[in-house]
Amino acid sequence: MTVSAHDTMFDLLRSKKQNYSLPREFYNDPDFFKLDMQHIFGKSWIFAGLVCDIPKPGNFFTLSIGDNPLVIVRDDNSEVHAIYNTCRHRGSKVCLEEKGHTAKLVCPYHQWTYNLDGNLLFAGNMGESFNPADFPLKKANIGIAGGMIFVCLDENPPAFAPFKEAVEPFLKPHALDRAKVAHEITISEKANWKLVIENNRECYHCNGSHPELLNSLLEFDNTDDPRATPEFKALVAKKTRDWDALGIAHESTLHNLEYRAVRMPLAEGIHSMTMDGSVACQKLMGDLTDPDMGSMRLLHLPNTWNHFMGDHSIVFRVMPVGPQETLVTTKWIVHEDAVEGVDYDLEKMVKVWNATNHQDRELAENNQLGINSKAYQPGPYAEGAEFGVINFINWYSAHMLGKLFDPAKLQL
Ligand code: 3BY
Ligand code: FES
Ligand code: FE
């Protein structure tokens, strides 16, 4: 990467107009993308998947954070590891499947064979002096909060405990450790990852684009939302009483711009994000007995937002692939004992968010196409409706400025 991309980004962030969208380079420049990958995706806690993706010893799934393939695996003692999927022999990717079950991690190139905790067990023809203990697969940092698995590639990861402590009470009623993935889909969006997140952070576009979602979702973020109506506030007050009586966490815990959890009611009388608002799964998550859990919205920047409801939950993971390409994975989660066709109707469950995802993909891709034009110039956010985008951009700018700041260049 050129030194100047670093300096250009720093200068653009310092001089950027508050509450305006970012300059074009942030959305399409390959060197800016590398800086995002290095300083955001290489240093933050990145949402990888769920403990219920790998319920049994030997279960694994793979993902790539930029150029770094990883395998997330549950070992024979049921401990979960985040392991760099790069062989210690000559560097081949070891695990090639997306997910599965295995007794050992065997490299396909020369069959170096690793334990599920990454230790090398066997390597042929390496001679007497070779000690397998010297060549374990490398580990990434792992943090598990209420059944959500996060990884951090930085040797000095930021603290995970405050996030874990803040969100576990919110996730507890949904018992992700006693859940299963009912359906999963990954779509590729031809848009920069920030456009995908920006799009998710506002509902300014909902009226124009999301008829299915608006059957259930109220566009207000919380009771402080400038658009919140008296009816909405009354509904929140009612649900607050119900949830307090059940001991269900709901209050907003906005600790910083990086993450938040809040339980908000769905539209009055609506129990789930389905077309008619009735539950898609009769067997509720965890030990819940009341389907009316609203939606517990969990955001963790840079790459996940989620809706945890009484009957099922929807979990999203955003993984950048290139300056103008992002993978968005959606998982629909139900109680581990729920049976398709008996307890839940899969088609009914996935309809709203499949439609919403495709609408959002189109919005993000069109946004990218317009930004690529020489006519693009940063435009003003609607502060009363796009405060979520403003929060995201402020988080991004502050994070990047902190990482790009070079004290050696301080003029004394
Ligand atoms: O994730 C959501 O619920 C929605 C989708 C559109 C705006 N966002 C807040
Ligand atoms: Fe893995 Fe050779 S590169 S065994
Ligand atoms: Fe949307």
ipTM: 0.84
Q: Is 93 in the pocket of ligand 2 (CB under 6 A)?
A: no
What pLDDT, on a 0 to 100 scale, did the predictor assign at position 254?
Answer: 62
Question: From the alpha carbon of 217, which atom of ligand 1 is closest?
Answer: 3
Q: Which ligand is nearest to the CA of 106?
A: 2
Whole-number Å distance between alpha carbons of 321 and 102? 27
Residue 256 has pLDDT above 90, yes or no: no
Among 229, 195, 198, 184, smallest CA distance to 333 is for 184
Residue with CA nearest ligand 2 atom 2: 110
> Can you give the pTM of this predicted structure?
0.96
Question: From the alpha carbon of 388, which atom of ligand 1 is closest?
Answer: 9
Length reported for the chain: 412
Residue 196 has pLDDT above 70, yes or no: yes
What pLDDT, on a 0 to 100 scale, did the predictor assign at position 300?
Answer: 98
**Ligand 2 center to 111 CA (angstroms):** 6
Among 141, 160, 161, smallest CA distance to 151 is for 141
Mutate to test the pocket of ligand 2, among 93, 112, 114, 138 (most ligand atoms within 8 A of CB): 112
Whole-number Å distance between alpha carbons of 108 and 355? 39
Contact 31, 2 (CB under 8 A): yes
What pLDDT, on a 0 to 100 scale, did the predictor assign at position 222?
Answer: 78
What pLDDT, on a 0 to 100 scale, did the predictor assign at position 159?
Answer: 97
Whole-number Cα distances in Å, 149 to 46, 211, 307, 377: 8, 32, 16, 38
Question: From the alpha carbon of 92, which atom of ligand 2 is closest?
Answer: 3
Q: Which ligand is nearest to the CA of 208?
A: 3
Q: What is the pLDDT of residues 50-97, one digit of tens each?
A: 999 999 999 999 999 999 999 999 999 999 999 999 999 999 999 999
Q: How confident is the model at residue 2 (pLDDT cuts 50, 70, 90)?
A: low
Whole-number Å distance between alpha carbons of 332 and 360? 18
**Ligand 3 center to 244 CA (angstroms):** 30
Q: Is 60 in the pocket of ligand 2 (CB under 6 A)?
A: no
**Ligand 3 center to 227 CA (angstroms):** 18
**Ligand 2 center to 326 CA (angstroms):** 30
Residue 276 has pLDDT above 60, yes or no: yes
